[in-house]
């Protein structure tokens, strides 16, 4: 083992520890590691910066804007209202009606706005029909993940791996290629949720603070309950609630703080605020208009009927038509007959999402003057650094060394066992750190294993995509899980109880189907 391999190993171990203990925002942690690699000579400045100009990373940025345009059009809100059954129903019947459609939508849109829009509507609906909303919110998050693994644009991780595949000199993924295995995982996952979520998920946990808020809301009708998540730009991060004086800044009173399954209702002024905390507020009617579009909050529910879309029906339909054209164009654009028809232009997802973004901006489907606030810059930095970290693992010989050790351990069992090992490694990492960071660590190992075995690396690449997105066992592995955890008062163990079986289901289907669809030879 050379000094460079040891250095990279220690740096990556430090990165994982920093991500697990949430010492900084993930993007800055990965960027720090990349800078360390550059200072050590493992990466050149050019290699360090290549990820920031990668087509996949820019595609993710523009997909954020397309998703925001669809969100602001009000189309998603109208969809979920039509899916929710009115009158008396059961948990299973309601899930069968809405979960497949949500999975379909999330295959083409960023998962976070889908959950942010659907969660409060579903929660209010469940309360109105006297069903426990806790039976729906974790399934909501899970089906957005299941839908996302079915297409190239369903999750940023798929685009990241696609970009790495192209950089390695191989044919990339087509729009629906992952759906060959993803759709079977999605269908099996939804059937599992239909039959077991009602039994495994808890009933509504009403805290004493929530009962007090309901009484306060009845006594002061001008106030209502607002649930919001603290964003990265919230100015009170790492300050105590008392020192920050939330009420003076935002004119609302904090009644509860929810964090990782814990609910704080007493001595709130002594609690230090962190990004991702869910705050339960008592606020007046000015709070949502003032702060609803602010990047310091992700407003989930305002306690009243959701705000109507400011767009007319014609713009809503125009936004949907643009998205459909983008998807169809990217699907058929890379077919051989289209490449012959337009030989000078690469009609891929980047091409069509660029056009869609510009049209949405000029037709004001999303506010063009505020376009930067709708992009998750931390995710983009993670993606750009992921390319550099992957390159450092190759340059140092770390990827080849670890791959050789894994092959030696499983020499007698062949590539199928190695495929299973890659899935487990990637999946464990994605449950404890970010999915894109997990893909960055797993991709070079997969490529090196395939090259040393002399087999086609595509089965390993697909496995990384599926494993990096199959985050069901913990709330920290995926942003939508964190959102519904606070909104539904879920404990960490609730995710383990229902999600671990889903992880195992995704593992078994992947290891069985992937080698059949993408043979090793």
Per-residue pLDDT for 497 more than 90?
yes
Percent of the chain past pLDDT 90, that is, above it, reads 47
Q: Place 409 in a pLDDT band, splitting at 50, 70 and 90.
A: confident
> CB-based contacts of 133: which residues, under 8 Å, 6+ apart?
122, 123, 126, 127, 204, 488
* 415-420 long-range contacts, CB within 8 A, separation 24+: 415/453, 415/455, 415/459, 415/515, 415/520, 416/511, 416/515, 418/449, 418/453, 418/460, 419/459, 419/460, 419/463, 419/511, 419/514, 419/515, 420/507, 420/511
- Per mean pLDDT, which of 13-17, 263-267, 293-297, 502-506 is the most reliable? 502-506
Q: pLDDT by residue (tens digit) across 319-374?
A: 999 999 999 998 888 778 887 888 878 888 899 999 999 999 999 999 998 888 88
Distance from C-alpha of 140 to C-alpha of 100, rounded to nearest angstrom: 10
Better pLDDT: 477 or 517: 517
Q: What is the pLDDT of residue 218?
A: 63
Q: Shortest CA distance to 453 belongs to which of 390, 380, 370, 521?
A: 521
Query: Helix 75-83 and helix 111-128: axis angle, to 10°?
Result: 40
Distance from C-alpha of 453 to C-alpha of 133, rounded to nearest angstrom: 49
Q: pLDDT by residue (tens digit) across 185-239?
A: 999 999 999 999 999 999 886 655 565 666 666 667 678 888 888 877 788 888 9
Better pLDDT: 510 or 251: 510
Q: What is the pLDDT of residue 191?
A: 96
Q: Answer whether 138's CB lies under 8 Å from 118's CB.
A: no
Q: 92-124 as b/e, with b when 16 or more CB fall inside 10 Å?
A: eebbeebbbebbebbbbbbbbbbbbbbbbbbbb
Per-residue pLDDT for 442 more than 90?
yes
Per-residue pLDDT for 306 more than 60?
no
Better pLDDT: 453 or 262: 453
Q: Which region among 76-80, 138-142, 243-247 has the lowest average model confidence (pLDDT)?
A: 76-80
Q: What is the mean pLDDT of residues 108-128?
A: 86
Q: What is the mean pLDDT of residues 500-510?
A: 96
Environment class of 472 (CB within 10 Å of its CB; exposed 0-12, middle 13-18, buried 19+): buried
Q: What is the pLDDT of residue 189?
A: 97
Distance from C-alpha of 489 to C-alpha of 132, rounded to nearest angstrom: 12
Q: What is the pLDDT of residue 472?
A: 94
Q: What is the mean pLDDT of residues 448-452?
A: 92
Per-residue pLDDT for 5 more than 70?
yes
Phi then psi for 341, rounded to 5 degrees? -70, -40
Q: pLDDT by residue (tens digit) across 254-281?
A: 998 988 667 888 889 999 998 888 898 9
Environment class of 484 (CB within 10 Å of its CB; exposed 0-12, middle 13-18, buried 19+): buried
Q: What is the mean pLDDT of residues 282-295?
A: 81
Q: Answer whether 132's CB lies under 8 Å from 157's CB.
A: no
Per-residue pLDDT for 414 more than 70?
yes
Q: Answer whether 121's CB lies under 8 Å from 84's CB.
A: yes
Q: What is the pLDDT of residue 379?
A: 86
Q: What tokens appear for 70 in the block?
A: 């669809």
Q: What H or E segment, with its residue span, contains residue 254?
A: strand 253-259
Distance from C-alpha of 380 to C-alpha of 368, rounded to nearest angstrom: 20
Q: pLDDT by residue (tens digit) across 380-395?
A: 998 899 999 999 999 9
Q: Which single residue is written with the structure tokens 């696609």?
A: 162
Q: Answer whether 320's CB lies under 8 Å from 75's CB.
A: yes
Q: What is the mean pLDDT of the chain?
A: 88
Give me the helices (H) in 227-307, please. 241-244, 246-250, 287-291
Q: What is the pLDDT of residue 389?
A: 93
Name the pairing type of β-strands 262-264 and 224-230.
unpaired
Q: What is the mean pLDDT of residues 241-250?
A: 90
Per-residue pLDDT for 6 more than 80?
yes
Q: What is the mean pLDDT of residues 482-494?
A: 85
| Bridge partners, residue 259, by sequence | 262
Q: What is the pLDDT of residue 411?
A: 66
């Amino acid at each position: 083992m050379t000094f460079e391999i040891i250095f990279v190993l220690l740096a990556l171990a430090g990165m994982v520890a920093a991500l697990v203990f949430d010492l900084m925002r993930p993007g800055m942690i990965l960027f720090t590691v990349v800078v360390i690699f550059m200072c050590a000579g493992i990466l050149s400045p050019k290699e360090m910066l290549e990820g920031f100009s990668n087509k996949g990373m820019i595609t993710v940025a523009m997909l954020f804007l397309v998703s925001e345009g669809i969100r602001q059009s009000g189309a998603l809100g109208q969809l979920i209202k039509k899916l929710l059954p009115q009158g008396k129903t059961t948990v299973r019947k309601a899930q069968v009606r809405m979960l497949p459609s949500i999975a379909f939508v999330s295959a083409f849109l960023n998962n976070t706005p889908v959950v942010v829009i659907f969660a409060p509507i579903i929660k209010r609906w469940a309360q109105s029909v006297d069903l426990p909303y806790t039976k729906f919110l974790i399934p909501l998050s899970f089906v957005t993940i299941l839908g996302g693994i079915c297409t190239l644009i369903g999750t940023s991780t798929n685009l990241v791996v696609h970009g790495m595949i192209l950089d390695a000199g191989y044919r990339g993924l087509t729009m629906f290629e992952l759906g060959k295995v993803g759709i079977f995982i999605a269908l099996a996952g939804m059937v599992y949720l239909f039959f077991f979520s009602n039994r495994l998920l808890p009933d509504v946990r009403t805290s004493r603070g929530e009962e007090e808020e309901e009484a306060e809301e009845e006594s002061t009708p001008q106030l209502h309950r607002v649930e919001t998540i603290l964003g990265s730009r919230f100015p009170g991060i790492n300050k105590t609630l008392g020192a920050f004086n939330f009420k003076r800044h935002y004119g609302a009173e904090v009644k509860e703080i929810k964090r990782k399954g814990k609910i704080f209702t007493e001595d709130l002024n002594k609690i230090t605020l962190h990004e991702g905390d869910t705050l339960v507020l008592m606020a007046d009617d000015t709070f949502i208009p003032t702060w609803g579009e602010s990047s310091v909050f992700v407003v989930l529910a305002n306690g009243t009927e959701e705000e109507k879309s400011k767009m007319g029906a014609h713009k809503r339909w125009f936004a949907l038509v643009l998205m459909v054209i983008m998807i169809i164009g990217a699907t058929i654009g890379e077919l051989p007959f289209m490449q012959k028809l337009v030989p000078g232009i690469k009609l891929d997802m980047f091409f069509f999402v660029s056009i869609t973004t510009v049209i949405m901006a000029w037709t004001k489907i999303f506010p063009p003057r505020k376009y930067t606030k709708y992009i998750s810059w931390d995710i983009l930095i993670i993606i750009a650094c992921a390319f550099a970290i992957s390159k450092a693992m190759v340059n140092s010989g770390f990827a080849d060394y670890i791959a050789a050790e894994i092959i030696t351990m499983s020499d007698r069992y062949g590539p199928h066992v190695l495929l299973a090992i890659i899935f487990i490694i990637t999946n464990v990492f994605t449950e404890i750190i970010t999915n894109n960071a997990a893909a960055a660590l797993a991709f070079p190992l997969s490529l090196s294993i395939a090259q040393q075995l002399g087999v086609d690396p595509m089965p390993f690449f697909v496995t990384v995509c599926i494993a990096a997105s199959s985050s069901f066992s913990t709330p920290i592995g995926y942003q939508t899980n964190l959102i519904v955890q606070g909104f539904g008062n879920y404990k960490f163990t609730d995710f383990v109880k229902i999600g671990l079986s889903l992880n195992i289901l995704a593992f078994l289907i992947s290891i069985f189907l992937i080698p059949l669809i993408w043979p090793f030879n």
